[in-house]
Chain A
Amino acid sequence: MTARRRLVPYGLLGPGAIWLALFFVVPMYFMGELALRTGTFTEGFQSGFEVSNFSDALSGNTTQFVRSFVYAGTATLIALLIAYPLAYAIALRAGRWKLLLLFAVVAPFFTTYLIRTIAWKTILADESPVVSVLQALQLVPEDGRVLATGGAVIAGLTYNFLPFMILPIYASLERMDTSLIEAGKDLYASATQTFLRVTLPITAPGIVAGILLTFIPAVGDYINAEILGGTGTSMIGNVIQSLYLEQRNYPEAAALSFMMMVAILGVVLIYLRLAGTGAFMGDEEERG
């Protein structure tokens, strides 16, 4: 290989790597730096090493931290339950309807996120038919409501991030060699057995990717809590937003953002260890 040829990949990477370094890595550094500053907004924030910003940010917002992970976790689980059979149907059963169904799943992406969420607010209004039905079915208490509860926030998160769950699972099912199912049927006879021992393990990478792609944006979300939530349903994103843009307490806001990122990476790490697969885009890493 010539020296020039060795330089080619760097030339190809250059623009993208520089862009990401400048506008992703460097900002993270500044956020870290901001998180350690002292002072108040009116007097200016001086640089420092105020580690207590981190403990303050955590101690004051434990509830919201826990709530964010619980809401996002629940939404991810529900999304998985909805998405798997749907992806299965589209990938293996839909036949000529495949493209149309796939398309219908992606379609909601193309109306603005906010508009979709606001539409749900109308659908779930206290006096709406949907809520009356839920009340009749005893799923919601007679004088109860859906809107402005944690349930509404979870429902919103589930809906808004569902395509992120469906697509990777669909992709893994689509790639699957269907003759394996036939072989499984010959081997285990029962369709349930075949599903559990053949289909599920093969599509595990898709499931892992889907879970991560749903969970991560859901944890950091604040729009659903803002529009569909009520009192006592704020997520950590709402707190960060308020600290940054309402209270202008930049150091604490930055500290909180930083800790959220660490917490998410921690959860992802534990999860990937438990799931035992490197499906999360870093697939090549695992192979290498």
Chain B
Amino acid sequence: MEAATATARHVSDSAPARAWTWLRRNALMIYAGIAVAYMLIPIAIVGLFSFEKGTAQGEYWSDAFGQTAVNDSMIMSLELAALTMVVATAIGTLMALALVRYEFFGRRATNLLIILPMATPEIVIGAALLSLFITYSFDLGFTTLFIAHVMFSISFVVVVVRSRLIGFDRSIEEAAADLGATPFATFRLVTLPLLAPGILAAALLAFALSLDDFVISNFNSGTAVTFPLYIFGASLRGIPVQVNVLATMLFAVTVIAIALVLWQQRRAEQMASVQPEQEV
């Protein structure tokens, strides 16, 4: 397949042949460029729209927060995502620790419990939760959204943290214990920092999942209006340009945040790879 194209077996000196060779060598990367462009097209369109329509160029950027309804929904979404992130990451990390570190009765059932929500279409989860809330006459709103968001985020957190835990060198922890650290101190000073990248990735994922959710929220929001719910309503009648502005802002902020995290991680890894030699 594409792997083959990169290995040019026949080399010729004529220009077309050289071009052909170059093309074959780089076909895969050219394809990757096109594919990535395809993935980014809609975002470019949204960014483009955020500058459109007004009387002055970029008018809606200076008035980015001029639509109270847009702001309120965005604030609610951010609050919800932050809260979901904290709770789901904490709960999920503990579960991942239990699953990787311990042999216990009911492990298989627990695995099932974690996998099933991911194998269930959102609409079924949303509808089922609504069935529960209807039966018990729950007040639909921020609380039910929070319950639902934590629920569907847990599984993803567990999967991400677990994959980090599996490749974890336990001898470092044992060394800490040998040096007299209590189990709690070991956990706090050794395990947690080493797990941090996995936990961070899981937290980001939980945040993004919560921020983006429409289907489950639509069933269980009651009076609350999150950003996606607002967009759905507004899309029916012509979206305020501010929505595009805020979406672009949000995108930019996440991009910067992730870039910082990646950079930080890379630095940490570099430092980690240097340290043993220094200490010896």
Contacts and interface: CB of A to CB of B under 8 A. Distances in A.
* Direct A–B contact in complex, judged by CB atoms less than 8 Å apart: yes
Interface of A: 6, 8-10, 12-13, 15-17, 19-21, 23-28, 30-31, 33-34, 82, 85-86, 88-90, 93-94, 99, 101, 103-116, 118-120, 122-123, 159, 162-163, 181, 190-192, 194-195, 199, 212-213, 216-217, 219-223, 227, 237, 240-241, 244-245, 250, 253-254, 257-258, 260-261, 264-265, 268, 280-282, 284-285, 288
Given A17-B110, A99-B262, A107-B255, A9 B123 contact: no
A199 B227 CA distance: 43
Contacts of A26: 132
A195 B2 CA distance: 9
Contacts of A194: 3
A191 B35 contact: no
Q: Is the interface of B mostly helix, strand, loop or mixed?
A: helix
A89 B219 CA distance: 40
Contact of A123 (B41, B101, B128): B41
A69 B279 CA distance: 59
Interface residues of B, number: 88
Nearest to A114: B231
Interface of B: 1-4, 6-7, 28-29, 31-32, 35-36, 38-43, 45-46, 49, 90-92, 94-95, 97-99, 101-102, 104, 108, 110-125, 127-132, 134-135, 147-148, 150-151, 154-155, 158-159, 208, 211-212, 214-215, 219, 227-228, 231-232, 235, 239, 243-244, 247-248, 250-251, 254-255, 258-259, 262
B30 to A, nearest CB: 9
B181 to A, nearest CB: 17
Q: Is the interface of A mostly helix, strand, loop or mixed?
A: helix
A53 B112 CA distance: 28
Contacts of B40: 104, 107-108
